[in-house]
Structure 1
Amino acid sequence: MTTVAIRAGLQRGLIETRQGLTSATELWNALFFPVIGSIVMVFLRGNVVPGTNFSLGTQAVPGILSLSVVFTGMIGLGVTLIMDREDGGLLRAKAIPQGVLGYLTGRVVSRAALAVLGVLVPLAVAGVLFTGLSVDVVTLVWVLVVGLVAVLPLGAIVGSLFRNVQALGFVTLLNMALLAISGVFYPITALPSWMQWIAEVFPVYWLGLGLRSALLPDGLAVVEIGSSWRHLETVGVLGAWAVVGFLLAPVLLRRMARRESGSTVAAAREKAVQRTM
């Protein structure tokens, strides 16, 4: 039964991905942050990374792409789960044996595909706008895979804990704060040590570091902590977050599914209507 549910979920994920690729809203959501970030970085091309002659704009490109992965993957999945609870999609899935597993599999697949799209399309554009990018395809692939495995379960946790999209504002603000101290827009070594320690706890920094190692020349590692790309540490920390996510997400999702009923969906719809009035 579980295998059947996962197979159905994969098929659903492919269908949702095709629908997303033909949806202007979905495409814009996936490309919004990279597009805006790239425009900002274009104006910083004349500035250089401290201690080097390398363009600060180019150095920030991987960080912008990591921002896209976090928001399209984690926040996007969380928003999708909340909206499906409000319109009864989760309740309908719950009525089918192993339906929640198939539903979640489909959502994860489609979100992962859109997150990858949010990296590859802006990366192709960045290759034209910025000089100095040096793409290591193997590193790029494994960083994206490990990064998505780390952040997508967190998105499922977020979607399980919050009952409306507005409540996600706190999570979004927290992510923005982490992005500000994670070396996304400026080398992290320029920040105070205590900020570096905080950044190193969360997956945002390590995803950005991994993407920088995949897209920037090896000489740029000199502005990173320890003057190294720290691949082993990247796998270790992202892997640890993935384990935490995979342990907590099923428990919270099952609890969320048990609480779904016709009355809760009706109440959620009423609140959603009130918010739009």
Structure 2
Amino acid sequence: MTTATHTAPLPTTLRIGVARGVLEVKQFFRERDAVIFTFTLPAFILLMLGFIFNEPLDGYPGVTVSQIFAASMIAYGILSTAFLNIGVGIATDREDGTLKRLHGTPATAGTYLIGKIILVLVTTAAEVVLLLGVGVAFFDLKLPQDAGRWVTFGWLFVLSVVACTLLGVAASSVARSAKSAAAVLNLPVIGLQFVSGIFVDIASLPDAMVKVASIFPVKWMGQGFRSVFLPDELAAQEVAGQWEHGRIALVLGAWCVVGLVLALATFRWTDRRTR
């Protein structure tokens, strides 16, 4: 009589990546101070800007400037979580030896990136829910009733998260240490909010700034989320006078590819000072 033997399936990049992502999420939510700071900062900025500029938008009855901020700030929430927090987190993992220890396991750079993307998808989804809650509760932001707008939100959210996460992974190699990572990465984050029309009306910016902002994903992220949560007539307030969904998808998709190439090319398991 023979006994059948079952061989466990070999680990795959996706399986290990998902397992890594689950672990990343658990570790993140165990750090209460990081959780509070990550979730409250974009919402706090929205509250401050919203109350300061809570006035009707000229020529658009029923629309306030604070509602525009509420829609635009989703882009900042994603950038802050996906780019800044991931970039700083990877720099810290590299400096304290976490990545070096992972390198001795079946984990690859690809599985590590999948884990980070899963972490960002979960945390940014919670961040967006909080921002929308603030917008609805304090500034009368209207949630879409049209399923098509939620479809737009879905692909826009995924492309934004993937692009910003991969760019955050690549940017983590720019900082010389974990301590300097926050300062180094905050500079482009803050700068892009202003030139991309997140903190200010993009139509009021100089053409040179708008052209620079159009190169980067944040401008298109903000424009896309405004198209989801604001009336269609508000498209006239955009630089091109329309929402440009096709171009938004093209630009964000291109940045996903660029981010992946940069992330894989610059990713390091160990701190450069230990070599």
Q: Counterpart of 1:264 in structure 2: which amino acid?
A: T
| 2:21 paired residue number | 13
Q: Residue 216 of structure 2: which of 193, 198, 202 is its match?
A: 202
User: Counterpart in 1 of 2:274?
Assistant: 264
Q: Which residue of structure 1 aligns with residue 166 of structure 2?
A: 153
How many Å separate the matches in 2 of 1:223 and 1:92? 51
Match runs of 1:147-226 below 5 Å: 147-165=160-178, 166-226=180-240
State the partner residue of 1:271: none
Give the structure 2 partner of residue 91 of structure 1: 100
Deviation of 1:260 (Å): 5.0
Is 1:24 aligned to 2:32, yes or no?
Answer: yes
TM (normalized to structure 2)?
0.86
Q: Name the structure 2 match of 1:273.
A: none
Structure 1's unaligned 5+ residue stretches are 266-277
Quote how far apart the aligned CAs of 1:117 are. 1.3
CA 1:21–1:98: 2 relative to 1, 3 Å: closer
**Which of the two has greater helix per residue?**
1
Q: Deviations over 1:40-76 (max 9, x none)?
A: 1341354233443421011111221211100100111
> Which of 150, 153, 161 is the aligned partner of 1:137?
150
Query: CA offset at residue 107 of structure 1?
Result: 2.3
Distance change >3 Å, CA 28–CA 45, structure 1 → 2: same
Does the aligned pair in 2 maintain the 1:5–1:101 contact within 8 Å? yes
CA distance in 2 between counterparts of 1:51 and 1:193 reads 23
The answer on 1:250 being equivalent to 2:258 is no
Are 2:55 and 1:47 equivalent residues in the alignment?
yes
Q: Which runs of 5+ in 2 are unaligned?
A: 1-8
What whole-Å deviation, never above 9, does each CA across 1:171-218 have from its counterpart, x for those lacking one?
Answer: 311221111121113321111111111111111111111111111111
Q: Give % identity.
A: 29
Q: Does 1:238 align with 2:252?
A: yes
Inter-CA distance 42–161: structure 2 relative to 1 (3 Å threshold):
closer
Taking the aligned partners of 2:106 and 2:15, their CA distance within structure 1 comes to 14
C-alpha distance in 1, partners of 2:205/2:110?
42
69-78 vs 51-60, which moves further: 51-60
What residue is the counterpart of 2:80 in the other structure? 71
Distance change (3 Å), C-alpha of 1:58 and 1:88: same
Letter paired with 1:108: I
Distance 2:45 2:223 in 1: 17
User: 1:83 & 1:132 partners in 2: Cα distance?
Assistant: 38
Q: CA deviation at 1:246?
A: 1.0
**1:121 and 2:121 are equivalent in the alignment:** no
Contact 1:62 1:208 in 2 (8 A): yes
Measured in 1, the distance between the counterparts of 2:30 and 2:125 equals 16
Mean Cα deviation higher: 45-54 or 61-70: 45-54
SS in 2 for 1:66: helix
Equivalent pairs counted in the alignment come to 261
Report the Cα offset of residue 168 of structure 1: 4.1
Letter in 2 for 1:137: W
Query: Does structure 2 conserve the Cα–Cα contact (< 8 Å) formed by 1:33 and 1:64?
Result: no
- Is residue 91–residue 181 contact of structure 2 (8 Å, CA) maintained in 1? no
Distance 1:46 1:104, change over 3 A: closer
Alignment partner for residue 36 of structure 1, among 26, 44, 67?
A: 44
Of the candidates 82, 88, 110, which is equivalent to residue 91 of structure 2? 82
Say which is worse superposed, 31-40 or 176-185, in terms of deviation.
31-40
SS at match of 2:81: helix
Give the residue type in structure 2 aligned to 1:200.
S
